[in-house]
Structure formats: C-alpha cells, structure tokens
Structure 1
Amino acid sequence: MARIAGVDLPREKRVEVALTYIYGIGNTKAKQILKEADVNPDTRVKDLTEREITKLRDIIEKRHKVEGDLRREVSLNIKRLTEIGCYRAFAIAGGCRSEDKGLEPMPERAKALIKP
C-alpha cells in the first residue's frame, strides 16, 4: 500500500482517485500532480513502481500544502477572523458556508433555526 503525506492510498483505486483521499488534493490538483510526475492517471495504486511513488511523494511534499499543515492553516485563519470580530467568522461559527454564496445557512441548519 502506498503511503503519501501520512495517508495510506487504497490499492485497488486508480491513482487519480486515490490521491483525492489526501486532505487538500481534489480532482484538479490530482490531475496536475500526475501530469507533472508523468504518471498515467488510469494506473492502479498497486501497480505503481517505487520510483513513481517517490516522484508523487516528492511533488506533493515540496509544492503542495496538505493534511496537517493545511488543517492548521485553515483553523488559524478562522481563529484570526474570530479575534478581529469579522462577520465571516460569526457566519462560519453559525454553520454558514464560508464560500461566496452570500453566507446563506446550510439547509439543515436553517431548519434547526426555524423550529420553535
């Protein structure tokens, strides 16, 4: 089983999909990493060579913030917003999306707020 960034990648999955198991790597970033490492996206994790695994590990560790480092950065950003009393921090704490949807509450959260 290939271990990259502290995550065991599932052996039977395609590499393109398996990389998305790492926090901070989505479909687009996985495709970019595989293209840069010159690895076929349709290859199964169990069929990767040691050289390919090493290339993937090096690229991810050197150029991308993933797992613990990314989680720490996100939590520090939210903490910073909370300390300055920003509206976004209040909305995130209240269960709203932190994206650009006008900070509207998530449907299940809205139902909970409406109940008497």
Structure 2
Amino acid sequence: MVFILGVNFPERNLVKKALQSFFGIGNDTSARLLARYHIHPTCKVGELANKQVLDLTAALSDMKIENDLRRKVLDDIKRLRETGTTRGRRHALGLPVRGQRTRTQIKTAIKLNRVDRRL
C-alpha cells in the first residue's frame, strides 16, 4: 500500500487512475503530472520510487483539489444565487443551467443538474 496525499492506494493500481480518483483531477491533469515527473502512463503505484511519491504528493498539495475545490464550486453557486443572475435562479430551481433543452428532457436535465450541484 502506497500513500499519496494521505490516501492509501493498492500497489496494483495504475498511477494515472489513482491520480484521477481525486476530485478535480481529470485525464489531462494526471497526464501532465506524469509527464512532469517522468512516470510512464502504464506504471503501477507499487513501482513508484519514494522520491516520485513525495514529488506527486507535493504537487497535489499545491493544487486546489478535493474539499477546497468542492467548497469553491459551492461558493460560486451561492454567489450566483445571491446576485440574482439567471444561472443562479436556475440553480435554485434545479433546472439546467447551461442552455440544455427542457421541453422534452426536463427530468434527465434536472437529475444531471442535481448531481452537479450536490458535490
């Protein structure tokens, strides 16, 4: 078991997938981190050297991920609601915010929007 940023990962997991398990890190960001520290994309967590684990942990601690990012997203939505913008009103009503069609697919759009708001 290897600890990256306080999270315990099994040694057989890919490093790229382990990085993507953090909220706010997607495919591009994980690939960029792997390239920066010269880690092969198919490398497993158990194959990492101690220095590479420490470098990844230091880089992740500098980034805004997990709870900090969730708090920022929720604060942004709260700010939109308070200012009374159209996006804020649509968030408050549980409607789609980004111009999706609501005439026929309203139930699906509400479910998707609810997932985005309740991170």
TM-score (norm 2): 0.76
TM-superposed CA distance for 1:97, in Å, is 4.4
TM-superposed CA distance for 1:36, in Å, is 0.9
How far apart, CA to CA, are the structure 2 residues paired with 1:85 and 1:92?
A: 11
Seen in structure 2, the aligned counterparts of structure 1 residues 60 and 39 have a Cα distance that, compared at 3 Å, is same
How far apart, CA to CA, are the structure 2 residues paired with 1:94 and 1:6?
A: 37
1:1-116 to 2 correspondences below 5 Å = 1-62=1-62, 64-98=63-97, 100=98, 102-104=99-101, 105=106, 107=108, 109=110
TM-score (norm 1): 0.77
Seen in structure 2, the aligned counterparts of structure 1 residues 10 and 84 have a Cα distance that, compared at 3 Å, is farther
Q: Is the 8 A contact 1:96 1:103 kept in 2?
A: no
How far apart, CA to CA, are the structure 1 residues paired with 2:93 and 2:8?
A: 34
Uncovered stretches (5+) of structure 1, i.e. residues with no partner: 111-116
Q: Deviations over 1:60-113 (max 9, x none)?
A: 222x21011111111111111111111112222333444x4x144562638xxx
Q: Is the 8 A contact 1:37 1:59 kept in 2?
A: no
How far apart, CA to CA, are the structure 2 residues paired with 1:106 and 1:7?
A: 36
Q: Secondary structure at the match of 1:25?
A: coil
- Structure 2: which amino acid aligns with 1:81? L
Uncovered stretches (5+) of structure 2, i.e. residues with no partner: 112-119
How far apart, CA to CA, are the structure 2 residues paired with 1:97 and 1:9?
A: 36
- Structure 2: which amino acid aligns with 1:85? G
Seen in structure 2, the aligned counterparts of structure 1 residues 51 and 76 have a Cα distance that, compared at 3 Å, is same
- Structure 1: which amino acid aligns with 2:65? V
Identity %: 32
Q: Is the 8 A contact 2:19 2:30 kept in 1?
A: yes
